[in-house]
Structure 1
Amino acid sequence: MPKPKAEENEKAKKITVRKQKLKAEDEEIIDKPEIEAKEKEIVDSNEMPEKLTEDSEEQPEPELKPRRVKILREEVLDAIYNPEDSDPKSQDVKKIVKKAKKRSRLFVVLAVLFLLALASAAGFFVFSRKNNQFNERITILPSAPTSVAAGGEVTISIAIKNNEKIAIKNTELTFTPPDGFTFKSSSPAPSNEFNNAWQVGTLNKGAGATISIVGSLVGDQDQDKVFHFILGYRPANFNYDFQKNADLKIRISSSVIKITPEVPLRINPGAPTDFPVTIENTGADPLEGVKLIVDYPENFSFSKANPKPSEGEDIWQLASIPANGKVKIIISGSITGAPGDTKEFKFRAGKEGLKEFEVQAQASGIGSLVKVGMSLTAVITNPSKGVYADWGETLNYMLTYKNESDSEMRDVVIAAEFMQKNFASQDVSILDLDNRSAAVAGKLDGRTITWIKADIPGLAKVKAGEGGDILLRLALKSGPEIKTQDDRNLVITTNARITVGSIADVEGKNFETQAPSLQTKVTTKLNVEPEARFYSEEQIPVGTGPIPPQVGKTTTYQLSWTLTNPTNEVTQVVIISTLPDGVIWTGKQSVTAGQAVNYNSETREVTWRINRVPPGTGSLFASLEAKFEVSITPTLADLGKIILLLNQTVATARDEFTTQDLRVEKAILTTDLTNDVAAQGKGLVVEAAPGT
């Protein structure tokens, strides 16, 4: 018979209370495998509650506390008989047990991981601190000058010290140099072919070692170069390696390359102007592969340079500059612009680095365009315009000056320097300066002639628009003095300048204007000497037949050409003449150089050709000579006469230095043998002796 409804409600309340209490004891329940099995059996049962109670009384009780099992059973019964009163948030027993089990396992795993992480962190902290303390007691101290001139030599000393209480072994120092460092030597020697590693070996406690590295360093001025050093080692009784790092910084303070521009302070707009620059090696070692780059100002027009640029018009690659040596480059050109404009020439010198051009020195020269105060020109009025000159020739110089400004120029001085150089730029004597000819001779000092107001009163004050001329005649000497092989390719360079002591109403003094230089190349003095002989210089007969020549008798003579060339190489040399009628070519000939002497019977021309004749021929080296034989048989019409043996001799060639075509003409040869001492006075034809 069913229970009253009031009793059922009271029971439902009790089950709800017990269910809430169960939540606090879930974790303890899910730790018991026996409970899990029992719960599964109860939940899956389809019997009536009364039957379930009877059966459960008959089953052996698991090892559970009675209170907990009772609570579980009541909750199950309540869920079966009163599903409408169940808490919507409640779950079946199987899910409750599984959820509690998962939470317990997750808690255990998290706890273990937390303990492991805590232990690892503590161990790492203790281990790292111990290692750092150990590493701090091993010292590596590189030292060197704080700065060095670019391209200069630097010595780096690396001191290594073991301050630990145990030895360190397998000690090795390696370093990484910066760009621009070139290794030269070290003490001790490197242990590898790359010159960047040194085996130190074992250092006992308190022991140390020092390594010294020597090299050169290049770079931009004020650039810092950083060297990286790594010391690797292994402490005794350790099974792993340690490293100690150190850096060394060296600044490029200056450069062994010095640039000295000589840009004129005042520049005549549009006029040809020289802009010299000197590159100097102030170091103790030669410099190889120095590059100079010039940045020209706006409106600069390049004309030429000596020496010529290696690339374009603004790059010079200098093969070598000796220790404490200099290289001078003269750049010629012109600048246009308005008076008052400033023009800056920038010069950079350095070497090609591993990545790019490294500037080691730079300088600039600034000039201003001005309205010329005094103009000066120098010209040579000879037909050649002074481009070349021959020995013995007189050069006619004209110096023209004029005040181009609106102010009066005072205390004007005009000077002309006549530089005379050989192939090696050594001074030689070409001009006869002492015997100069001029209306006003001026004062000679060395090779410079100067005119001042004492010589020309008009130079005291030169008013605006006024000027004048100075005429000067200078003769070249008759021939060169050849002493060495450098005495060739001779040049006269004329530099004229005008200096103003002061300018009316203008601050400053010694305003100077340079006239464009004149360069005159001296042509070689090619010479050929024809000669006729019957006897040699040793008075041995080289001819045959009677002498003096006799009517009807045949006499042979030896003719020769002797060629000399003192100062410049000549090419395409041709010496030619013709035989007069009645003179016979015998075919006997010899030469010391060039082609054999050729005779053309139709034109009667005798020709000797030589491809090249070096300078110094006839002075430093033997003269060149060609000999050939001719014969005559005088007739009665020739009686009492001198017979013509060879017509005029003409020598032509090309001077390779002055690029001029040369021509030398020489007189005829006759039986009057002027150079033959033994045959002199025996040139007239005589009658044949009776019976001959």
Structure 2
Amino acid sequence: MTNRKFSRLSLNTEIEVIPKKVRKKVIKKEAVEPSLEISKLNRELKEIYKNGDGSMPNMGNFEKKPQKSFLRALFWLVFSCSFLAVVAWVGFFVLPGNAKFSEDDVVLEISGQEKVVAGSLVHYRINYHNAQNIVLNKTNLEVRYPAGFVFKEASVNPTNEQQDTWDLGNIQGGVSGFVDITGYLNGNFNDKQSLRAFLNYYPSNFNSEFQKVIVFNSEINSLPLEVNIEGPSEVAAGSEVELIINLSQPATPIKNLQLVLDSAGVFSYTTSSISPNPKIKNTWDLPEIVEALQIKIKGSFNSNGEDASKIKFKLISWPDEKRTGEGFVWLEKEIAYKILKNELAVSLAINGATQDFSLSPENDLNVSLVLKNIGSLTLKNLQPRLFFEAPSFNNKSILDWSNLTDIADGEVTGEQVNDNTRKGVIAWSSKNIGILTSLASNKEVRIDISLPFKTGKNVDLSQFTSYLASVWGEVKYNVDEEKVLSTGIIKMVINSDLSFESRKEEIKNSTNKDYYKISWILNNSFHDLKDVEISGNWYGDLLWQDDKLVVPAGEVNYDKEKKNLVWKIKTLPKDLDVVALQFAFVLNTLNPSQTDLSSKITIKATDAVTGEEIVKVVEGFKLN
């Protein structure tokens, strides 16, 4: 085999030609073409890389030169950022007179009393200061008062009806000012009340509104008067006890106070030295307190099977006479009592009710007093009594004592409690009921009486200005010593004496058909009424006679499809004691199976004095 020698090619070396004999063996016609291409490539490379004198450079001595284009780009970037920063600085700080705005240089402060007596006069001063050269445009001060604050006056007149906004205009640089606010601050005892101030403004070099906010807290840490509650630490279940509430003389008169008793169902009061709130149970609206005030409340405890009990008194205050909301709790005092068990159980019911209820003068009081010996010893010399407090006029009760029904024939006495209230008492002893001399264990005595009200037929009810009545019982007895046991009080709201009468007159008309002339009659003389509504449905093939309708008051609507008649009266004064609606139907065809001409009639009204709804339902008409 022939040896071949190869030498390194250089750009100035000619390509060796392969011997002819070898080319015949291994190289075909196509192999010649790459050699020509390489020659061409060499020539082109020489043209590219040759020096100016035609010689070739030394390819091993190349050096990398710095990239001038990158430095140029970096330079322009830095220059552009610097230019923009200068423009921004000039725009914000040089053009507006070399003044730089800062929110920290807008100062807002509040000074006032941090500790406050409930309901007392307080003073707030709101200071503002523009500590820079920037003008604050369209500046206004807004204040959010504490919940119990009542505005009195300010050193600068407010610019709105709510008296909580001040227009301060444009505040120049370096200018200060203040607004003094005076008012009465009320709140729950030991609570903090917050006054918030908002300063809204537009800096002269901004188009946006800015706001400065500050809060000032005042704590209600004392009361303008002292309150003490006195009462026994031990009470007998059912026996009468007296609770005394003493209020000290305040430095200045106090209005809008209310005393609330949370009895938790274990205490029922019978009488009190001041009149209770007629609409809210166990609540007394106190008069203006100018000097020391003492309130006496009498009542009894129910054991409910417990050996101890608690009641809670609250003294509530309102900022003004409107008394909206729940008010503020000045005092909340809980009193614990030990309840002693008794040998005698006493129960009271009126018209079947053992709790408070409403009625009207047309309802009699059917009272049951039951005494039962629940101990093991015999009880002696029992002396039960029933107490009735009711409205009065000219020292005469609204109760009709002349028509009292009492089989046991107890002794009746009376006394005037105040100008509008009279008390009646029925007392029994062994002279009336023999078993009261000695009541053995597990034995009981039941006393039933019936006492009616006077009605508009025999007295002018409008003379009675009160509408509250109450009944309770009391029993004295001996077991080693004399004891007194009282029942809980049952209170009654006496609504107006609204009564309703429906009359029907049946005749034959000119076509010999049944013609029904109906009258709805309302009677009322005790209280004014409002939202009166009488309604009923009618049955059968009836033809409504529109020309026979006579409406004395209000408006009447008859739905011919539903055959429903509604009579509405917005207000019905007590002076208008009788009003009668008249209307008529013609029975077009008779249904032999029909028995009723109308449904039951429903009467609804609201007593304008008591605020309670009166509802009555009376029987409708039969067809014949």
TM-score bucket (shorter structure): 0.3 to 0.5
The structure whose Rg is larger is: 1
Q: Output the TM-score relative to the length of structure 2.
A: 0.44
Q: Which has the higher helix share?
A: 1
